[in-house]
Amino acid sequence: MIVVGFLSLLVVTQVYPLLWLFIYSLKTNEEILSGKFFALPHALQWSNFSAAIDAGHYFQYLKNSLFVTSVTMVCVILLGSLASFAIARFKWKYGQLVMVIFLIGMMVPLQATLLPLMIIFKNLHALNTHLSIILPYIAFQTPIAVFILSGFMKSIPAEIEESAVMDGAGVFRIFWSIILPISIPPMMTVCILTFINIWNEYILAATFISSERLKTLPFGVNSFVSQYSVNYGAIGAFLVLGALPVIIIYFLLADKITKGMVAGAVKG
């Protein structure tokens, strides 16, 4: 009974913010500013969603976010899997040192890199391009990918590779035909974590992107804030639309996240 109560409380605390945001998005400014946070709207303001799509340039920003996130995910999976394969399956002198470097990369705060990256991209004439945010995204997400994938790859029995070598398979054939298919569960976890982290990122995008044509989804909220007024209902609707892809992907692949996180915990 205690466990059921605790789980029920956990579900409420996780689901209620999303429900509240949806209700918020259907209110007028007057209802929102009245201070009655838990009150239902008198009339459903579906026009807030129309404003979010039109005035918030939703589809344009959505396209940019999908492009940036997709390119980042592909690069992170490719680089992370190759690095993890080298660290986990090869016996070489600097393997542990390289792993430590990746772990240190997980501890570097994003804010500490803004000024150096600004100078680098300015000298490379890469500011105000998608490349200026894709490269830092890859750099910040790859250490997490290596941490997850290398832990799983270390649990793969060596006999599998030995059999492949006896059959004449080379290193890249072993990686492509054996290691990658086996590593799909943790790779799905890496994809989902990368997607969630990049989809909601604002600081780097706000620093390096100034063109309206290149901005990503988090910038849409700014469309409803002017010098003298704020459309709070449209902001809520835009946040709902922005969170919708993440929610859908998470619920479709939730079981794969769990499997991927514990995949390397069992040997063999």
CATH code of residue 248: 1.10.3720.10
74 with 199, same domain: the answer is yes
The answer to whether residues 70 and 5 belong to one domain is no
Number of domains in the chain: 2
Residue 264 has pLDDT above 70, yes or no: no
pTM (predicted TM-score): 0.84
Query: Is residue 50 in a domain?
Result: no
Going by pLDDT thresholds of 50, 70 and 90, the confidence category of residue 226 is confident
Whether 17 and 120 share a structural domain: no
Same domain, 34 and 103: no
216 in any annotated domain: yes
pLDDT digits (tens, 9 = 90+) for 95-154: 888 899 998 988 888 888 999 999 999 999 999 999 999 999 999 999 999 999 998 888
**Is residue 175 domain-shared with residue 70, that is, in the same domain?**
yes
Alpha-carbon distances of 33 from 30, 36, 246, rounded to whole Å: 5, 8, 29
Mean pLDDT taken over the chain: 86
Whether 27 and 65 map to the same domain: the answer is no
Residue-wise pLDDT for 42-53, tens only, equals: 888 999 999 989
Closest residue by Cα to residue 84 from 32, 182, 153: 153
Confidence tier at 267 by pLDDT (50, 70, 90): very low
Are 83 and 149 in the same domain? yes
Q: What is the DSSP string of 68-130?
A: HHHHHHHHHHHHHHHHHHHHHH---TTHHHHHHHHHHHHHS-GGGGHHHHHHHHHHTT-TTST
Tell me: do 209 and 186 sit in the same domain.
Answer: yes
Name the 3-class secondary structure at 25: coil
My answer on whether 143 and 123 are in the same domain is yes
Specify if 51 maps to a domain: no
Range of the domain at 233: 56-266
Residues 189 and 100 in one domain: yes
Same domain, residue pair 117 and 207: yes
